Amino acid sequence: MLDWLRPSPKRGGRKEEDPSIELNGQRVPIAIRRLPQSRRMTMRLAPDGSEVRIAMPQWGRTQDALDFARLRADWLTQQLTRHAPKAELAPGALIPFAGVPHRIAHNPGSTRRVVCEAGVIHIGGAVDSLRPRLTRWLQAQAREHFAADLAFYCARAGLPVPPLALSGAQARWGSCSARGTVRLNWRLMMAPDAVRRAVVAHEVTHLVHFNHSPAFHALLAQLFEGSIEETNRWLKRHGRGLYTPLG
């Protein structure tokens, strides 16, 4: 996969200034990616709001990409304002689990094992290790739930259960490789159950149709018990917020 790159220095020895755009009073870097299959220019904000990402044809000019971003500065500003500040994971803070806010209850003298019950996440040990231990706990929960979801939808599709891998990707909730491995973003454990399951059903459908053809959408509608449109709307509206509680 190609990386997001910023324009290289100009010829003649003079370095080109790193491109950026001012949005809501802050400078946001612009990263440009040239794709051989691209026929038009597209733009989005990184899930964590750290940069503007522009994909364009290989023959596209850097200046065209920068003009494209500046022309749509108002839209980018709206996207940036949707990013909540990073949550402070102190005792008493709230983080989402399965779509429901849970309060962190910390007791240094209690077990380091995380226990979740009645809207409260109990955790012991040192307070400065809350973030990594909560992350590991969420990842373990995600693996357990993903495995059950995969088994459920593969049974519906009449397929063997594929290998599962967790992902921390900044741009994808799930993916299915040509070899059949399904990768799922562990942050989906913070989303409502229906949203998580919709992503799993989507990737299971890719085991049959490695595209987004009408046949793909027809099979997905058969496999998933809820509304794909509603779960897509939830991810579009709230998905970036899943990146803020644990960074």
- Quickly list DSSP for 18-38: PPEEEETTEEEEEEEEEETT-
Collect all residues with Cβ–Cβ distance below 8 Å to 79 and sequence separation of at least 6.
Answer: 44, 45, 49
> Residue written as tokens 């299959």?
37
Backbone angles phi, psi at 97, to 5 degrees: -140, 120
Q: Do 43 and 71 touch, CB atoms closer than 8 A?
A: no
> pTM of the full predicted structure?
0.67
**First-to-final CA distance of the chain:** 23
Q: What is the pLDDT along the chain (247 residues), one digit of tens a residue?
A: 333 344 444 443 333 357 888 876 678 899 998 888 888 899 988 877 788 999 999 888 889 999 999 998 888 887 776 654 555 577 888 899 999 999 999 888 877 788 999 999 998 888 888 888 899 999 999 999 999 999 999 999 999 999 999 998 766 899 998 888 999 999 999 999 999 999 999 999 999 999 999 999 999 999 999 999 999 999 888 887 887 777 6
Q: Do 170 and 50 touch, CB atoms closer than 8 A?
A: no
Collect all residues with Cβ–Cβ distance below 8 Å to 91 and sequence separation of at least 6.
Answer: 104, 105, 106, 127
Round to whole Å and give the CA distance between 62 and 32: 8
Q: What is the pLDDT of residue 189?
A: 96
User: What's the longest Cα–Cα distance across the chain?
Assistant: 65
Buried b (16+ CB within 10 A) or exposed e, 8-37: eeeeeeeeeeebbbebeeeebebbbbbeee
**Rg of the chain, C-alpha, whole Å:** 21
What domains appear along the chain, each with residue ranges and CATH number? Answer: 20-81 (no CATH), 94-243 (3.30.2010.10)
